[in-house]
A and B are shown apart, each in its own frame.
Chain A
Amino acid sequence: MMDDTDRDEATSLDKAIEELGPVDPPQGFSRQVMAKISLEAARPRPGVIRLGRGRQSGADHGRRG
């Protein structure tokens, strides 16, 4: 079984895998993610009722009959 000590002896298989290398994300990736997250953050959470506008949650609607 491979142990931590085995990691110091890179085999040809290790080298072949390592040769795949890292992959850079597309340019603007983090900006795009943050834009979506900002939209997400601005969206009302399920079950949260905005007073005075919009629809009420289903649970709340049910209680009112």
Chain B
Amino acid sequence: MNQRVANFSSGPGYLAQDAEDRVAVARCLAGETAAFEAIVTRYERVFFTVAMRMLGDYDAARDAAQDAFISAYRRLDTYDPGRPFFSWLYRILVNGCLNDRRDRRVHVPLSPELAMAGSPADLVEANERRRRVQRALLELAVEYRQVIVLRHFTELSYEQIADVVGVPAKTVKSRLHTARERLQVLLSTGESR
């Protein structure tokens, strides 16, 4: 992989997935509940990652991701097939995370993933670095945090992020620009502690 921003989805991309998603949705709406499993399996990792970076708490991320899938299932009949399914699904997740943030105090966890090569000292240092970045993310206002998270942890384009967030693409770019500046300040001044 070249030095582009990270994404953690697999497969040929959202557009290809969208056709499969729509088939699963149609089957669900026809009464085949088990068809929804394909959607859960396809999105669970990226959903969990987005929720974790939005909320900074493993249990809260699990609840948010789970609630998003269940909420999507409940509302499948309101999905507009004229629009991408993944945008609709992400919107439910992000809105859920925003609601969750309004209801609870920020908890800053240690990063649960420890899959790093190197010495124990390197591992400790890398973990500390990640903890600082996660803390800084949590200190960003939600409108900035959500665009950073969606940009770095999904394969969504600016236009797709705009669809999820409900603002024009140019606003997404502007928010990303500001978010990166603020994140840089938080990290360089140690305000994120």
Which chain A residues have a beta carbon within 8 Å of chain B's beta carbons? 1-4, 7-10, 13-14, 16-26, 29-30, 32-34, 36-38, 40-41
Contact = CB atoms under 8 A, between A and B. Distances in A.
Interface stretch (B12-20, B38-46, B79-87, B99-107): B38-46
Nearest to A14: B5
Interface residues of B, number: 51
A25 B62 contact: yes
Contacts of B48: 23-25, 29
Contacts of A10: 3-5
B167 to A, nearest CB: 15
A40 B70 contact: yes
Contacts of A18: 5-6, 152
Nearest to B3: A10
Interface of B: 2-6, 8, 33-34, 36-37, 40-41, 44-49, 52-53, 58, 61-62, 65-66, 69-70, 73-74, 111-113, 115, 126, 129-130, 133-134, 137, 148, 152-153, 158, 173-174, 176-177, 180, 183-184, 187
A1 B177 CA distance: 6
Contact of A1 (B4, B37, B53, B173): B173
19 contacts: A2-B173, A2-B177, A8-B2, A10-B4, A10-B5, A17-B5, A17-B183, A18-B152, A19-B126, A20-B133, A20-B134, A22-B49, A23-B45, A25-B48, A33-B69, A34-B36, A36-B70, A37-B69, A40-B73
Contacts, number: 109
Interface residues of B: mostly helix, strand, loop or mixed? Answer: helix
Q: Chain A binding site: helix, strand, loop or mixed by DSSP?
A: helix
Contacts of A33: 40, 44, 66, 69-70
Contact of A20 (B33, B69, B130): B130
Contacts of A20: 53, 111, 130, 133-134
Given A8-B3, A13-B184, A20-B134, A38 B177 contact: no
Contacts of B45: 22-25
Contact of B113 (A3, A17, A23): A23
Given A14-B3, A21-B8, A30-B37, 8 more contacts: A14-B152, A17-B148, A17-B183, A22-B49, A23-B48, A25-B62, A38-B33, A40-B70
